[in-house]
Amino acid sequence: MSASDWSAVWLTARLAALTTLILLMVATPLAWRLSRARGRWRAPVEALVALPLVLPPTALGFYLLLLMSPNSMFGGWWLERTGGTLAFSFHGLLLASLVYSLPFAVQPLQNAFEAVGRGPMEAASSLRARPLDAFLTVAAPMAGRGYATAGALVFAHCLGEFGVLLMVGGNIPGRTRVISMALFEHVESLDYAAAHRLAGGLLLVSFCILLTVALLNGRFRSMRA
């Protein structure tokens, strides 16, 4: 594999790992609130969170690009604070990736928290655990399967991102070129051997991750039974 391919692999791995880490933290309070909510805000928020699942990645990327442009409020603020533009940078990729993968973190966690239900949290509360304490010691461990699923899905999903990242990152070698873009370039230039190496690697890694999730779910199921 060429040095530029290796740098794409390294960039993708970093992006996926950071996205997973940040999303699990960000999605936790959001999923928790959604799992408890009964009010009229629940449906619109759920729809908003699920939007990246159905929106064309290019459409999402387009809006993110507008958001990141130095002319926008957020993009301008970022330029002022950091001295660099958000678009076409690693941070831009990361932000796009976070938005794009949000539903893959929120939905498994929300399901897991709903499965925990109110009972154990009430029990914890009656045993003098304050809400955060009860969450960390009861709800989060009981939702362990949800965390495993969410983490694996987000990571695997990040490996395969293309459209959004292309719009926001612009395929700059060494800076914003991820595996899927490098793969696209190889196919464009008819270098099928190089394309096979990347595509095959992605296939294998993604399969292993999903297999782990399936096995984990099986183990948790039999533990509960």
Closest approach of Cβ 124 to other proteins, in Å?
8
Classify the C-alpha dihedral 169-24-48-41 as positive or negative. Answer: negative
The Cα 32–Cα 13 span in angstroms is 28
When binding is defined by CB under 8 A, the residue of 120, 174, 200, 218 that contacts other proteins is: 120
Greatest C-alpha distance within the chain? 66
Stretch that binds other proteins, among 36-44, 115-123, 159-167, 182-190 (CB under 8 A): 115-123
Dig out the tokens for 69 from the structure: 């442009």
Q: By CB under 8 A, what part of segment 138-177 binds other proteins?
A: 138, 141-142, 144
Q: Is 136 a binder of other proteins (CB under 8 A)?
A: no
When binding is defined by CB under 8 A, the residue of 47, 123, 136, 203 that contacts other proteins is: 123
Stretch that binds other proteins, among 51-59, 130-138, 193-201, 211-219 (CB under 8 A): 130-138
When binding is defined by CB under 8 A, the residue of 37, 129, 199, 216 that contacts other proteins is: 129
Amino acid, single-letter form, for residue 39:
G
Q: Which is nearer to other proteins, 13 or 37 (CB)?
A: 37
CB 175 within 8 A of CB 68: no
Q: Is 126 a binder of other proteins (CB under 8 A)?
A: yes
- For residue 74, CA distances in Å to 22, 69, 77, 90, 172 come to 20, 8, 5, 16, 23
Q: Is 217 a binder of other proteins (CB under 8 A)?
A: no
Closest approach of Cβ 171 to other proteins, in Å?
45
Closest approach of Cβ 142 to other proteins, in Å?
6
Residues making up the chain, counted from first to last: 225
Q: Is 111 a binder of other proteins (CB under 8 A)?
A: no
Q: Which is nearer to other proteins, 69 or 125 (CB)?
A: 125
Q: Is 115 a binder of other proteins (CB under 8 A)?
A: no
Amino acid, single-letter form, for residue 125:
S
| Residue 225 CB neighbours (<10 A) | 5
When binding is defined by CB under 8 A, the residue of 38, 40, 81, 128 that contacts other proteins is: 128
Tell which residue, 113, 136, 109, has the closest CA to residue 124.
Answer: 136
| Residue 215 CB neighbours (<10 A) | 10
Q: What angle do CA 12, 14, 17 make, to 5 degrees?
A: 105
User: Which residues of the shown chain bind other proteins in the complex (CB under 8 A)?
Assistant: 119-120, 122-131, 133-134, 137-138, 141-142, 144, 224
